[in-house]
Amino acid sequence: MEKAIVTGLLAFGMSGKVFHAPFIDAHPGFKFHSVLERNQKNAVQEYPGVKSYDNFDELISDPEIELVIVNTPNFTHVDYTRRCLQAGKHVLVEKPFTPTSAEAKELFDLARSVGKKIFIYHNRRWDSDCTSIQKVVESGQLGQINEVHYRYDRYRKAIGPKTFKEEPNPASGLLYDLGPHLLDQAISLFGKPSSFYKVLGKHRENTKVDDYFMIHLAYPNDLNIFLTSSLLVADPQKAFVLHGSAGSFVKGRSDVQEEQLLKGMKLSNPVYGIEPAESKGRLTIIDDQGNPQVSYVDSEDGNYIGLFEAVYQAIVNDVPYPVTEDQIITQLEILEA
């Protein structure tokens, strides 16, 4: 690596421990320099030598830090990102980037004006599920794709303890929690829809925010994509269903990275990111005689290190980051509508 990007992390809760720290520590292009820990000082136990700051201003005032990861509650993203840019830092921001597209445009413009870069953390593009679907679609085996269903089902009847997700703050609720994942996966593969329709629901007792959504994305050539998520699905359905003129592809949500990282698995473990064999997607193709031919598609290995490699290449070598500004603006225009 030409240089190590000195990186600070704004929180060391679940997202910091699972989705960020292991990767900036393992990737040779980053130096895990510091973390913001207002109360308990836990980071140094796992990452000796990492500085722990008591407040945000101390961290962004450190002249060594080049990149700040904003992994704080959704409603803080705009303020923290703006202040990081004004302090001369590149910023990697968790989804959702901002509550509105207008705020996103403001921050992208600010980044350009100060000569810094903003990256949106859409790690699910590096899931084994997402990469496997991309492989099947790009192979052309399904023919002209006409219908796609993406689902993200959970069963969480109780109101969760994370108040920033359960209180009616900007960018709260299930739509802003899981909607960005599903929208990013659809938009990154199929592009910007020509129109969309959205339904929200509140089904849990005493909920203050939406806990169900369905988004219909309409595309040219009569391609219809349906994105659905609910917190009251006791029997989760297949997460990915694609139909085309030549066949269908069906796959469950089975990327193992989050589960492995929560259990403390190291990225160097040879089984990291590898789905169980029984999780293969089912591909059904109609042959020339009209008979269905069923096969099972090996999943690509998942590895979120690809996102951090993309950030590194963008900062050091000015390689375009795959999660584009236009894609984020499109996503937010749908979320805020």
Domains identified in the chain and CATH numbers: 5-122+306-318 (3.40.50.720), 128-301 (3.30.360.10)
H or E element: which one contains 187? helix 173-190
247 Cβ neighbours under 8 A, 6+ residues apart: 141, 142, 143, 283, 284, 285, 286, 292
- pLDDT of amino acid 325: 98
Long-range contact set of residues 200-208: C-beta below 8 Å, sequence gap at least 24: 200/173, 200/175, 201/230, 203/230, 203/231, 203/232, 204/156, 204/157, 204/158, 204/159, 204/231, 204/232, 205/157, 206/159, 207/159, 207/166, 208/166, 208/167, 208/168
| CA quadruple 136, 139, 142, 144: dihedral sign | positive
How many Cβ atoms sit within 10 Å of the Cβ of residue 327? 18
CA distance to 80, 103, 106, 185, 264, per residue, from 110 (Å): 13, 11, 6, 27, 38
Q: Report how far residue 16's alpha carbon sits from residue 237's, in angstroms, rounded to the nearest whole number.
A: 30
How many Cβ atoms sit within 10 Å of the Cβ of residue 4? 17
Please provide the distance, in angstroms rounded to a whole number, between the alpha carbons at the two ends of the chain. Answer: 43
Block residue for tokens 């240089």: 3
Q: Report how far residue 296's alpha carbon sits from residue 252's, in angstroms, rounded to the nearest whole number.
A: 12
Block residue for tokens 């690596």: 1
Q: To 5 degrees, how large is the angle CA 329–CA 119–CA 102?
A: 30
Q: How confident is the model at residue 1 (pLDDT cuts 50, 70, 90)?
A: low
How many Cβ atoms sit within 10 Å of the Cβ of residue 165? 18
Does pLDDT of 39 surpass 80? yes
pLDDT tens, residue by residue, 206-249: 999 999 999 999 999 999 999 999 999 999 999 999 999 999 99
The residue that leads in pLDDT, 142 or 40, is 142
Residue type present at position 63: P
pLDDT tens, residue by residue, 180-201: 999 999 999 999 999 999 999 9
What pTM value is reported for the model?
0.95
